[in-house]
Amino acid sequence: MEILRRPVVVAVVRQGSTIFSILTLALFALLSAVSAQLDIPLRDDLLQTMIREAGSGNLDYRNVLAKLEFQGIQQCSNNVASQWAYETNVNEFTQSQALEAQQLYSEFQNQAWQLISRLNINGIRDPTIRRRLTFLSIVGPAALPPGQLERYNRVINDMLSIYNSATICAHNDPFRCGLRLYPDLSQIMAKSRDWDELQYVWIEWRRRSGNQMRDLYEQLVDLNNEAASYNNFTNAAEYWMFPYESPDLQQELDAAWNSVRPLYEELHAYVRRKLRDLYGPEKVSRQAPLPSHILGNMWGQSWTNIVDITMPYPGKNRLDVTQEMLNQGYTPIDMFRVAEEFYVSLNLSAMPPEFWASSLFVDPGDRDLVCQASAWDFCNRLDYRIKMCTRVTMKDLITVHHEMAHIQYFLRYSKLPREFRDGANPGFHEAVGEAVALSVATPRHFQAIGLAPRYSVEPSADINYLFALAMDKVVLLPFSLTMDKWRWDLFNRVVNREEYNCHWHRLREQYSGIKPPVLRSEDDFDPGSKYHIPANIPYIR
């Protein structure tokens, strides 16, 4: 499952899936460290003293880093707490509080950055100190002048407010309104086989979300590039790729995709034939791209919800323990306890008390919130949380294990310096989460925990299981590439503003073989219907 991070929280939130790359995130959490002992914000006289010491060669780098480490805890923790309050209760007040907290944090980071930028980092012999200071020298949007930084944060929060508050009315029932993405629309996209209803929901969600934020997103592209420039990058695409520390990242991604593409094309052709049989040749052509609204997911990024109508061996065993979970009376808390037992059995840590006391496990139902599953590190080595609108399903049980993998990773590196409290590169956190998810989502494991007592292993069942796995994991790859390649092209100015939406669908067809159900235009902004776009979160990780 995906893990997301809001750009304002950058290095500490793993939402199933971002902001900027993990290193950048680590920097946000880190640079705020300069304020507790150096005052909040840094006092000009103290800053100037440290700058003079740096110029004379008398600055004690270890002392500077120690101050950053000590002072950043409260600053980072306060900021993350404000973002948590906003994402768990989206309203104007919590939004303004989150913006204010982020602004203070960014001002703090900016002043620390001014100090670090005056140091001759390359001349430092100690490789650990040199690497820590290098991380601190790249602060992302915090390098923007105050007015631009405020506008940057405001643009992102305004887009997220549009996204999080978007609702539509029901198909053929204009008086039943207020349907939200989760759980209402996602359930319709997953379970309905009514072509017209699916098309209506697909269009309406984009009309109420992405289409409302196009002007804002154009501003964000400019602000991202300006922030990258202040950090000595050519543009935001280069900045987003920096944390991977690979000069050939795009070529490596293309090579990885080309190695999987033949399998994807076979899967695509097979699914197209099955959907053609269901909906008819007048709606699903033999050679054309797949209409994206009939793939069981709002964005066509996973096709697992149409496995029931495309399965190679219908009527044979299919691994889905949802009904067994319901029969056994599972609750969301039970699902988290089962995940905790899994990690303890691997000799890893039980969840700390703060996790159980402060996490949000279900949608309260009485307010707007960001329902994307996410894992949070509050920077203080004590407070770790998961935010998830959990439902009793096999899919969510796997997601719970995935999100808890992030908490385990947080715990493992919690003793390291702040600069190093993140994944080894932006892909590591997701790799850990997905490795666990693949281990958990097997017939043998579900049998071991009593959720698949009647599942019999036979070749046809194995093929059904592997097919369902491919409908999730293989299908996600071209979607992920499209998400970031589209933004890289915008940052690189390869695409004019007048072609944003057209270029999105061009890439979707090129990589995924998917098309929109109706003709789209530049009056639309379909990328904005996916959370990671307004949240400014890289996706390929």
Domain chopping of the chain, boundaries: 1-166+209-245+367-439, 167-208+246-319+457-529
Is the model more confident about 45 or about 267? 267
Buried b (16+ CB within 10 A) or exposed e, 191-203: ebeebebbbbbbb
Q: What is the pLDDT of residues 509-531, one digit of tens each?
A: 999 999 999 999 999 999 999 99
Q: Is the model's pLDDT at 62 over the cut of 50?
A: yes
Among 147, 29, 17, smallest CA distance to 80 is for: 29
Q: What is the pLDDT of residues 79-96, one digit of tens each?
A: 999 999 999 999 999 999
Q: What is the pLDDT of residue 37?
A: 32
Whole-angstrom distance, CA of residue 112 vs CA of residue 430: 30
Is the model more confident about 190 or about 19? 190
Q: Is the model's pLDDT at 36 over the cut of 50?
A: no
Q: Is the peptide bond before 183 cis (omega within 30 degrees of 0)?
A: yes
pLDDT confidence of 232, banded at 50, 70, 90? very high
What is the sign, positive or negative, of the torsion defined by CA atoms of 306, 398, 467, 258?
Answer: positive
pLDDT confidence of 19, banded at 50, 70, 90? very low
Pick out the residues of the known binding site: 244, 402, 406, 430, 541
Span 374-393, mean pLDDT?
Answer: 96
Q: Is the model's pLDDT at 49 over the cut of 70?
A: no
Among 531, 471, 534, smallest CA distance to 17 is for: 531
First-to-last alpha carbon distance for the chain, in angstroms, is 11
Q: Is the model's pLDDT at 32 over the cut of 90?
A: no
Whole-angstrom distance, CA of residue 467 vs CA of residue 477: 15
Q: What is the pLDDT of residue 274?
A: 98
Q: What is the pLDDT of residue 67?
A: 84
Q: What is the pLDDT of residue 24?
A: 32
Q: Calculate the CA 289 to chain-centre distance.
A: 27
Would strands 13-15 and 290-291 be described as parallel, antiparallel, or unpaired? Answer: unpaired
Asked if 73 and 33 touch (Cβ cutoff 8 Å), the reply is yes
pLDDT confidence of 23, banded at 50, 70, 90? very low
Q: What is the pLDDT of residue 7?
A: 34
pLDDT confidence of 50, banded at 50, 70, 90? low
Q: What is the pLDDT of residues 164-212, one digit of tens each?
A: 999 999 999 999 999 999 989 999 999 999 999 999 999 999 999 999 9
Q: What is the pLDDT of residue 54?
A: 59
Span 42-55, mean pLDDT?
Answer: 56
Pick out the residues of the known binding site for chloride: 244, 541
Q: Is the model's pLDDT at 293 over the cut of 80?
A: yes
According to DSSP, residue 106 is labeled H
Pick out the residues of the known binding site for Zn(2+): 402, 406, 430
Q: What is the pLDDT of residue 9?
A: 35
**Which of 1-15, 18-32, 476-490 shows the lowest mean pLDDT across its residues?**
18-32
According to DSSP, residue 379 is labeled S
Q: Where are the alpha helices (DSSP H) in 287-427?
A: 307-310, 322-327, 332-345, 353-358, 394-412
Q: What is the pLDDT of residue 20?
A: 31
Q: What is the pLDDT of residue 109?
A: 84
Q: Is the model's pLDDT at 4 over the cut of 80?
A: no
Span 424-441, mean pLDDT?
Answer: 93
Question: What proportion of the chain, given as a percentage, has pLDDT over 90?
Answer: 74
Span 35-52, mean pLDDT?
Answer: 47
**Which of 6-10, 191-195, 250-254 shows the lowest mean pLDDT across its residues?**
6-10
Tell me the sheet residues that pair with 387: 360, 374
**Which of 59-73, 151-165, 271-285, 401-415 shows the lowest mean pLDDT across its residues?**
59-73
Whole-angstrom distance, CA of residue 361 vs CA of residue 332: 7
Q: What is the pLDDT of residue 52?
A: 63
Full 3-state SS string of 409-463: HHHHCCCCCHHHCCCCCCCHHHHHHHHHHHHHCCHHHHHHCCCCCCCCCCHHHHH
Q: Is the model's pLDDT at 362 over the cut of 70?
A: yes
pLDDT confidence of 456, banded at 50, 70, 90? confident
Catalytic residues: 403, 532
**Which of 49-58, 98-107, 160-169, 438-447 shows the lowest mean pLDDT across its residues?**
49-58
pLDDT confidence of 45, banded at 50, 70, 90? low
Among 138, 231, 55, 229, smallest CA distance to 47 is for: 55
Q: Is the model's pLDDT at 437 over the cut of 60?
A: yes
Buried b (16+ CB within 10 A) or exposed e, 7-44: bbbbbbbbbbbbbbbbbbbbbbbbbbbbbbbbbbbbee
